[in-house]
Amino acid sequence: MSMPFYVAPEQVMKDRADYARKGIARGRSAVAILYRDGILIAAENTSGTLRKVSEIYDRIAFAGVGKYNEFDQLRIAGVRHADLKGYSYSREDVDARSLANAYAQMLGQIFTHEMKPMEVEILVAEVGATSADDQIFHIVYDGSVVDEERFSVIGGDAEAIAARLEEAFQPGLETAGALRAAVGALAGPDRALAPTDLEVAVLSRQNGRRAFRRIEDAELATLLPGV
Amino acid sequence: MTLPIFSASDDPGPSFAELLARVRPQPALPDGAPPLTITHGTTVLGVKYADGVVMAGDRRATSGNLIAHKTMEKVFPADRYSGVAIAGAAGPAVEMVKLFQLQLEHYEKVEGQVLSLEGKANQLSSMVRSHLPAAMQGMAVVPIFAGYDLRREVGRLFSYDVTGGRYEELDHIASGSGSLHAGTVVKLGFRDDLTRDAAIDLVVSALYQAADADSATGGPDLIRGIFPVVATITTEGYTRVDDGELRTRVEALVAGGGAR
């Protein structure tokens, strides 16, 4: 009988993390940024049908980067989690924090126990009654959760984008201003992103019960003049 | 609560009812008719008019010969462009509406697009059909469904029977204990392309007459300020007519002698 080679646990974890990071780095990035009426989410996405940003519940949105089938599976699980919770208790009892924890549990479990970690990085955003209550949770492939203030970036080039967004960010920006900051940070100094390269949505306090709304086509082009 | 994750062969798809059955199987109904009196809601209407459809329902719920509630609501938005109104056993009916609303929203979120109006009507049909065992025990729920079909650009009405049979109606529908009287008033007053004003006056008058002849239907109560629930569904979506406007219309109906 042949003995399996001993591999140090540190090495196993490092290999898995490298594998997941490589998968995520292949895709394009997404950002979520607080603005006057709530949270704006912008993703670089040339497809008009395969979504990275979606509605989860009345005040909660989801954004994912990395492997499409994996984050889409998480998105659907999130919609189910939220709808079941709202049905069992009340619509008010559905919150982003508990959903972010459920995602973290699942990603952590898969990272340590499964053959392959999920090659995804996701955001769960919730718009509150006032801008002080807005929340963005950033969840990584190994199950770590970060509760972000002001803005959050996911995807391959996250550090550089976050540095650019740090400069452009101001509290209380209007929709157009927040969008320009987000898109400018995604694009970087050497290129411009056209409206067709972008997927944009907002969670706005002005939208009534279902706060999620996509900004598409003509509206997006008006908000991003000269691109 | 952990995340509901399913294997590909067991996945409930975009259906909330299927999802609910996977995570929480419903208890079976007891045998035989229930030995208790169940609260019933009555008389709901739907009428087509120039811009779409108008739906209306009275506010009374009865439990045997008692009036159980004076302000029950029987007309609900199903989603942005459709509404559902219920007659029958109040508990299961309200639960059915809640599930139906969730079902439409759940589908929209999971699939990323809205069901067609036809699809929504069929969904409700299967919910009524799955309720048949309870209906056989005296807890029947008979909804009506109305909506604005954005693809065909027209308002549409659907009626149901307890077996889940779905029937599209051309001009108007009524369901519940006062439906015979209310339906007759609507039938006599109906014209093609009614204006919004005329359509709302017609349903208010129909419910008034139904309340006059059917003890389980509640009339408008000017003293307590209780008026029928009336909603229009057009290209603008589902809009409830506010009580102030209904008060004016009821007062005009009484003053004009239409309430005799």
Identify the pLDDT of residue B50.
Answer: 95
pLDDT, tens only, A186-202: 998 888 888 999 999 99
Identify the pLDDT of residue B258.
Answer: 72
Identify the pLDDT of residue B35.
Answer: 60
Q: Is A103 on the interface with B (CB under 8 A)?
A: yes
Contact criterion met (CB < 8 Å) for A51 and B1 = no
pLDDT, tens only, A208-224: 899 999 999 889 999 98
- Residue B31 is assigned to a structural domain of this protein: no
- Residue B9 is assigned to a structural domain of this protein: no
pTM: 0.90
Residue of B nearest to A105 (CA): B2
pLDDT by 10s per residue, chain B, length 260: 678 888 888 888 888 988 988 888 777 776 766 666 777 878 999 999 999 999 999 999 998 888 999 999 999 999 999 999 999 888 889 999 999 999 999 999 999 999 999 999 999 999 999 988 888 888 889 999 999 999 999 999 999 999 999 999 999 999 998 999 999 999 999 999 999 999 999 999 999 999 999 999 999 999 999 999 999 999 999 999 999 999 999 999 988 877 66
- With CA atoms as reference, report the closest residue to B45 among B82, B96, B84, B6: B84
Task: Show the domains of chain A with their CATH numbers.
Answer: 9-223 (3.60.20.10)
Contact criterion met (CB < 8 Å) for A79 and B23 = no
Distance between CA atoms of A152 and A158, rounded to whole angstroms? 9
- Residue B6 is assigned to a structural domain of this protein: no
Identify the pLDDT of residue B33.
Answer: 64
- Res. A227: pLDDT tops 60: no
Identify the pLDDT of residue B34.
Answer: 63
CATH code at position B58:
3.60.20.10
B71 tagged catalytic: no
- Residue B27 is assigned to a structural domain of this protein: no
Of B102, B109, B112, the CB nearest to A87: B102
Name the domain count of chain B: 1
Identify the pLDDT of residue B81.
Answer: 95
- Residue B24 is assigned to a structural domain of this protein: no
Contact criterion met (CB < 8 Å) for A76 and B110 = yes
Cβ contacts of A78 on chain B, cutoff 8 Å: 3
Look over chain A and give the mean of its residue pLDDT values, rounded to a whole number.
92
Contact criterion met (CB < 8 Å) for A84 and B23 = yes
Identify the pLDDT of residue A192.
Answer: 87
Q: Which domain holds residue B188?
A: 38-255
Q: Measured between CA atoms, how close is A59 to chain B, in angstroms?
A: 13
| C-alpha pair distances (Å), B10 with each of A169, B4, B124 | 45, 12, 23
